[in-house]
Chain A
Amino acid sequence: MGKTRVARTGNEAMAEAIRQINPDVVAAYPITPATEVMQIFATYVADGLVDTELVPTESEHSAMSAAIGAQVAGARTMTATSSQGLALMYEMLYIAAGLRLPLIMAEVNRALSAPINIHCDHGDTMGGRDAGWIQIFSENSQEAYDNLIQAVRIAEHSDVLLPIMVTTDGFIISHAMEDIDIYSDGEVRDFIGTYKPLQPALDYKKPITVGSIDFVDYYFEHRRALAQAMSNAKNAILEVGREFGSKFGQEYGFYEAYKLDDAEVAMVCLGSTAGTGKDAVDNLRKRGIKAGLLKVRVFRPFPAEELAARLKDVPQICVLDRSDALAATGGPLYAELLAAMFEDRADHTVINRIYGLGGRDIKVGEIEELLSSQVSAAAGGKSIDRIGYLGVRE
């Protein structure tokens, strides 16, 4: 296996991965600190190193729209953005997911305005967390590169077919040069394989309608299928991470645990701070404090059970959030991890039913039935699904 150690910034590493992936179409609009990804990639296009059709658009909304169009037509499509750019794509993010398009995005984490700020936080990515995109965070340039390559396989996995964003921390990683190992073009291409679109719109022998209207009759069912795809992504992420490990040496999962086994206190975080945190953990251990760290790599789908299980025996946990949910309840990672960890511990049984999507009616009888079944399950000592759907045609 041919590995080459090179010096690359996060942006250069992502551009390198996109060159090796050699997508059919790339549509993008520049924004700091992600601009360089496309700037570098554009030179690859100009130099004929890739076969990509590069579509420079007039806004990020257009970039995502063009990317969706290309992917619908049957092209393997990528884009890159950051912060306000991702925010401007917001409307189209949901469409890419709803249409089940395995689009791939290199996202450079940057704070949202106001006030204007070009530096790193995760607020931009968190804004897209409920849009139906898989979200993978990277600690450093190496992971940004590795994650982008794996992203192709995860997104295009036949059980998944969802768009994916691989994020890296603005400036801290995007503009910092580090030594990373890159793999040969041939090996990367073998690993990602060729894209076989499920139903390309340009196949005139099998005409299809894309983006049609769904009223109360089918919307909920389509969203239920979308939720299932996100759930399926968990297996795909592990499968692809393992295969990546056997091929390139570094295996990837939902998280990385660092000195966690005997930890009395553990920090949990996303992105580049995990690296700094590992040094802090080592220093603390020298001082006699048994510290550990859990780096969450995959935020969507949220690996709730796995994280809760891994942290089960750690008495003190500190969640570091590089974004504020402005919900008066702390940051998003904290809220979700807390929910995951207390599922089994709480004195209460709290269940969740998703209902009424797309206007699906909810009837008085259904509510009665739901609550009474919960009560009788509790009385009979029977278990009841914690998460489920109410009113969807199973």
Chain B
Amino acid sequence: MGELIEIRWHGRGGQGAKTAALLLADAALGEGKHIQAFPEYGPERMGAPVQAFNRISEEPIRLHCQVTNPSIVVVLDPTLVGSVNVVAGLPEDGIILINTAETPAAVRERLSIKGLKVFTVDASGIAKEKIGRDVPNTPMMGALIKVTNLLDFTKMLEDNKKKLTKKFRNKPEVIAGNLEAIETAYREVKSE
């Protein structure tokens, strides 16, 4: 991974798109990469479609413009697909990862997506089962790493464990649930 990688996250206000971008950046930093994570700013309304962005590179990152041609798009909320142009700016060989119980083929069919590599994972289902709440951004990290090889999965898991341990010292079940959710999503993400 020599090149600069740009990622766009789609979510709804309050769903954690920005948090997901921050988490990924932090994990990448943990592997010695240079990072950027920033949200698209505007009036913040719960439920409104929002975007967040990452840049990850081996080299220091100097760009301070918006991300318009990401190579990777992550969709945290399946209901956005169809109402927001989630594939905008993606190149032919771009990657799109969607949180949905549907198969990649079904999504491709429904949205008539041409080109691109389509992946899906039921991150909401996994989150509800393992964490007890619909917080898809944590499991999505696992799936994203599986389909992109952006980071070393084992290291990322270790890194996450450390951070969660710090944050939830008195709630070991939260830590275990989160880690299991990441691992499950990593295993279960579907390709075509």
Q: Residues of A with Cβ closer than 8 Å to B?
A: 5-7, 118-119, 139-140, 169, 171-173, 175-179, 272-273, 275-276, 278-279
B38 touches A177 (CB 8 A): yes
Q: How far is the CA of A68 from the CA of B129 in the complex (A)?
A: 57
Is the pair B39, A175 in contact by a Cβ cutoff of 8 Å? yes
A177-B36 in contact given A7-B26, A7-B29, A119-B41 (Cβ < 8 Å)? yes
**B108 CB–A CB distance under 8 Å:** no
Within 8 A of A (CB), among B87-146: none
Q: How far is the CA of A176 from the CA of B63 in the complex (A)?
A: 12
Contact A177:B22 (CB < 8 A) given known A7-B35, A275-B64, A276-B65: yes
Complex formed: what's the CA distance from A119 to B37 in Å? 17
Chain B window 48-72, contacts with chain A (Cβ cutoff 8 Å), 1 for yes, 0 for no: 0000000000000111110000000
B62 in contact with A176 (CB, 8 Å): no
Contacts of B26 in A (CB 8 A): 7
Using Cβ atoms and an 8 Å threshold, which residues of chain B touch A179?
A: 29, 33-35
Besides A179-B29, A179-B34, 9 other CB < 8 A contacts? A5-B29, A7-B26, A177-B36, A177-B37, A179-B35, A272-B64, A273-B64, A275-B64, A276-B62
Docked complex Cα distance between A178 and B34 (Å): 8
The 23 sampled A-B contact pairs (Cβ below 8 Å) are A6-B29, A7-B25, A7-B35, A119-B41, A172-B38, A172-B64, A175-B38, A175-B41, A176-B36, A176-B64, A177-B21, A177-B22, A177-B25, A177-B37, A177-B38, A178-B35, A178-B36, A179-B33, A275-B61, A275-B63, A275-B64, A276-B62, A278-B62
Report how far A5 CA is from B26 CA in the complex, Å: 11
- Structural contact, B25 and A171, CB atoms closer than 8 A: no
Chain B nearest CB, measured from A256 CB (Å): 11
Give every chain B residue within 8 A of A176 (Cβ-Cβ). 36-38, 64
When distances are taken between beta carbons in the complex, the residues of chain A under 8 Å from B34 are 179
Q: Note all chain B residues with C-beta closer than 8 A to A169.
A: 64
Q: Within 8 Å CB of A6, what residues of B?
A: 29
Number of A-B contacts (CB under 8 A): 53
* Docked pose: A278 CA to B33 CA in angstroms: 20
Write out the residue numbers on chain B whose beta carbons fall within 8 Å of the beta carbon of A119.
41
Q: Which residue of chain B has its CB nearest to the CB of A275?
A: B62
Q: How extensive is the interface on chain B, given as a class?
A: 10 to 19
Candidates B33, B64, B65; contact of A140 at CB < 8 Å = B64
Partner of B63, one of A7, A171, A279: A279
Residues of chain B contacted by A171 (CB below 8 angstroms): 38, 41
Tell me, in angstroms, the Cα distance from A140 to B60 when the chains sit together: 11
- Are B61 and A178 in contact, CB atoms less than 8 angstroms apart? yes
Nearest A residue (CB) for B27: A7
Which of A118, A140, A177, A278 has a CB less than 8 Å from the CB of B35? A177
Nearest-neighbor residue (CB-CB) of A140 within chain B: B64
Whole-angstrom distance between the Cβ of B160 and the nearest chain A Cβ = 14
CB distance from B171 to the nearest CB of A (A): 22
Distance in Å from the Cβ of B30 to the closest Cβ of chain A?
A: 9
Most interface-central of B22, B35, B41, B61 (chain A CB within 10 A): B41
Neighbouring B residues of A279 by C-beta, 8 Å: 62-63
A142 to nearest B CB, angstroms?
9
Tell me the smallest distance from the CB of A346 to a CB of chain B, in Å. Answer: 36
User: Are A7 and B37 in contact (CB-based, < 8 A)?
Assistant: yes
Query: Which of A7, A118, A175 is packed against the most chain B CB atoms within 10 Å?
Result: A7
Distance between Cα atoms of A333 and B64 in the complex (Å): 20
> Distance (Å) between the CB of B8 and the closest chain A CB?
14
C-alpha gap A273/B25 in the complex (Å): 22
Closest to B38 in A: A176
Do residues B22 and A276 form an inter-chain contact, with CB atoms below 8 A? no
Q: A173 touching B64 by the CB < 8 A rule? A: yes
Give the complex CA separation of A118 and B34 in angstroms.
Answer: 28
Kindly state the separation between the CA atoms of A7 and B19 in the bound complex, as whole angstroms.
13
Complex: A119 Cα to B39 Cα, angstroms: 13
Cα–Cα distance between A176 and B40 once the two chains are bound (Å): 10
| Bound: A218/B6 CA distance, A | 60
- Which residues of chain A have C-beta atoms less than 8 A from B29's C-beta? 5-7, 179
Closest 9 CB pairs of A and B: A176-B38, A275-B62, A272-B64, A177-B37, A275-B64, A278-B62, A7-B29, A276-B65, A276-B64
Residue picked from B33, B39, B62, most chain A C-beta under 10 Å: B62
State A6–B32 Cα separation when bound (angstroms). 10
Bound-state CA distance A20–B22 (Å) is 24
Nearest chain A CB to B166's CB is how many angstroms away?
A: 14
